[in-house]
């Protein structure tokens, strides 16, 4: 069970961001659907190109539907394995990520996030909203994963989604099957931030958290 860790008063966003990790093994324990609405409520507050709010969310909890989604995704995953570069295959292997997606049928909630492709900056806007959502789920003590299926058009057929919307991700939401303690693999601030000129370090005015 994922604990709700205390947030330090003045580092709330940083604490949520650095505590959040991708969880790929879920228990089937139910969660409060209010928490999912809470996260989507946060997501809809994200900025978007021309304020078009091109995001739509389909919450799936029905077991038969989750099973069908898993089946469709696993088929596509198996095909994907033949097409990806070697470095990606190795990365997936090292992470223990196979074509099997048990979490799609086991986690209590899947949130399928769609973007409306005719809006300006729809892609950037939708992913920004997904980011807000992940932080809000973290705040609610829920585990999540942004799973991006290799094929996406099946979702329109399965869920009666109009063609102008395309699936961007399935946010898997639930409780972790086991406690995970994983080192956060992130580049240091000084490797990714420069001051005034590319490559120019920002020296001692910046500290890594
Ligand atoms: C755009 C995007 C697509 C992702 N797609 C997948 C995916 O299809 N399957 C998966 O297991 N994880 C996926 N992830 C999760 C990343 O692998 C994960 O965020 C990354 O390895 C860093 O680990 P962390 O989230 O635990 O910090 C995706 C993340 C993002 C932002």
pLDDT, one tens digit per residue, over 19-35 is 999 999 999 999 999 99
Q: What is the pLDDT of residue 7?
A: 65
CB 107, CB 172: distance < 8 Å: yes
Domain spans of the chain, in order of start: 12-205
pTM over 0.95: no
Look at ligand 1, atom 14, and give the residue with the nearest C-alpha.
146
Expressed in angstroms and rounded, the spacing between residue 74 Cα and the centre of ligand 1 is 17
Expressed in angstroms and rounded, the spacing between residue 31 Cα and the centre of ligand 1 is 22
Beta bridge partners of 58: 112
Task: Give every residue of the chain whose pLDDT is below 70, as ranges.
Answer: 1-9, 204-209
Q: Is 193 in the pocket of ligand 1 (CB under 6 A)?
A: no
Q: Report the distance separating Cα 106 and Cα 29, nearest Å.
A: 9
Correct CATH for 12-205 of 3.40.109.10, 3.40.50.300, 3.40.50.80, 2.30.110.10: 3.40.109.10
Q: Is 22 in the pocket of ligand 1 (CB under 6 A)?
A: yes
């Amino acid at each position: 069970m994922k604990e709700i860790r205390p947030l330090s008063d003045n580092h709330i966003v940083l604490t949520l961001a650095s505590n959040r990790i991708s969880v790929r093994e879920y228990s089937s324990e139910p969660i409060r659907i209010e928490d999912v609405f809470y996260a989507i409520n946060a997501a809809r507050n994200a900025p978007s190109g021309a304020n078009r709010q091109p995001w739509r969310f389909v919450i799936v909890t029905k077991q038969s539907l989750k099973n069908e989604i898993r089946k469709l995704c696993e088929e596509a995953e198996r095909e994907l394995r033949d097409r990806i570069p070697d470095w990606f295959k190795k990365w997936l292997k090292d992470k223990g990520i196979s074509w099997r997606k048990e979490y799609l049928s086991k986690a209590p909630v899947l949130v399928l996030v769609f973007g409306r492709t005719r809006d300006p900056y729809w892609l950037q806007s939708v992913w920004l909203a997904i980011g807000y959502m992940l932080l809000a789920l973290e705040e609610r003590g829920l585990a999540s994963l942004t799973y991006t299926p290799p094929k996406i058009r099946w979702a329109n057929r399965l869920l009666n989604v109009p063609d102008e919307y395309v699936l961007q991700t399935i946010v898997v939401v639930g409780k972790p099957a086991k406690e995970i303690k994983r080192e956060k693999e992130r580049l240091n601030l000084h490797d990714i931030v420069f001051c005034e000129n590319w490559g120019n370090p920002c020296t001692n005015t910046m500290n890594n958290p």
